[in-house]
Amino acid sequence: MIKHAVLQLKPEKGNIKGNLELLKSALLDLKAESPDVVVLPEAFLTAYFLQGGVRELALTQQELLALLQEMYQSLEWTGVLDLVVGFYEREGGTFFNSCAYLELGGRGILHVHRKVFLPTYGVFDEERYLSRGSRIQAFNTRFGRVGMLICEDFWHTVTSTIIALDGAQMVYVPSASPARGFASQNPGNMERWSALAQAVSAEHGVYTLLSSLIGFEGGKGMVGGSLIVSPEGKIMVSAPAFEATALLAEIDLERIPAVRYDNPLLADLQGNLPSILPDLSRVVHRGEK
């Protein structure tokens, strides 16, 4: 069993030091539970709507590791702590919306995913300030093979398909989603997240762990609605809208083979990939002379 904690928190815009203290406080509250992996939302260290402030507040991977290792050492945590955290990344003169998977007290940064799909509609204007990532891949951790997707990345189901085909057993999804659509009890995008996470998990036989920001930024309310979904596509635990929450769940990777045996959609896709790749290439190059 792998004990996970998905944190739904409200960071303060632009206050990296204060947000590290918020994280430290949340981890101290969880210390007795001894989670193996803690998952944080998109852009947690600075909040989401930075716009031009990205240039001043983005961190290199080395700076991120140093800050989090210092915070971890102050916790006097027993053993290694794995952490998934969203942040704005700087590499030279290029900036990305990224999330990192770290072993604190262990091997450090294992993988960094850079958001591929940068929304530029409605209230969003990411591509004005950020560069796109170019890779979608799974990677190995001490607990198994996992993947990370950031917010809109997950809304394009081809991304989770790639990660599942690459061997992922768990998909971590840091998100920052302003509430919209109020025709039902919960905001419409919150219900969309729930339906999508259940569908992805059920199709591929993976655990999906969504960690979503809360709080108001520039008059826009981040919806929350974090959740953990089983490989059968059933919600194990979920968080309410707009409330700070810590979701706890034990994940059993031994369940995945049986689930995929009973519902072999991923195996069917793997077997048929050679026959559909020519059509994928045709669609990609459609219109070219």
| Residue 289: per-residue pLDDT | 61
* Domain-located, residue 173: yes
Backbone φ/ψ region at 224: left (φ over 0), alpha (ψ -120 to 50), beta? left
Report the relative pairing of strands 81-91 and 94-104 from DSSP bridges: antiparallel
* Domain-located, residue 289: no
HEC states along 26-72?
HHHHHHHHCCCEEECCCCCCCCCCCHHHHHHHCECHHHHHHHHHHHH
DSSP 8-state assignment for residue 224: B
- Its domain, for residue 103, covers 2-284
Q: Which two tokens stand for residue 147?
A: 């993947």
* Domain-located, residue 45: yes
pLDDT, mean of residues 175-201: 82
Query: 3-class DSSP state for residue 93?
Result: coil
* Domain-located, residue 236: yes
Tally the domains of the chain.
Answer: 1
| pLDDT tens digits, 108-128 | 999 999 999 998 877 788 889
Decide which of 145 and 119 is more confident: 145
User: Which ranges constitute the DSSP H helices of the chain?
Assistant: 16-30, 54-57, 61-75, 152-155, 157-165, 188-204, 255-262, 265-284
Q: Reply yes or no on whether the pLDDT at 180 is more than 70.
A: no
| Residue 133: per-residue pLDDT | 97
DSSP 8-state assignment for residue 185: S
- What CATH number did the domain enclosing 34 receive? 3.60.110.10
Q: Reply yes or no on whether the pLDDT at 43 is more than 90.
A: yes
Q: Reply yes or no on whether the pLDDT at 185 is more than 80.
A: no
* Domain-located, residue 79: yes
* Domain-located, residue 245: yes
Decide which of 1 and 286 is more confident: 1
Query: 3-class DSSP state for residue 97?
Result: strand
Cα-flanking dihedrals φ and ψ of residue 29, to 5°?
A: -65, -30
Q: Reply yes or no on whether the pLDDT at 183 is more than 60.
A: no
Q: Reply yes or no on whether the pLDDT at 218 is more than 90.
A: no
The C-alpha angle 42, 47, 52, rounded to 5 degrees, equals 110
Residue for token digits 């991977």? Answer: 61
Among 22-36, 169-183, 195-209, the range scoring the smallest mean pLDDT is 169-183
Q: Reply yes or no on whether the pLDDT at 145 is more than 70.
A: yes
Closest CA to 27 of 243, 246, 228: 246
* Domain-located, residue 37: yes
Q: Which two tokens stand for residue 262?
A: 């009973």
What does pLDDT average to over the chain?
Answer: 94
Distance CA 40, CA 252 (A): 21
| Residue 250: per-residue pLDDT | 97
* Domain-located, residue 187: yes
pLDDT bucket at 19, cuts 50 / 70 / 90? very high
| Residue 124: per-residue pLDDT | 81
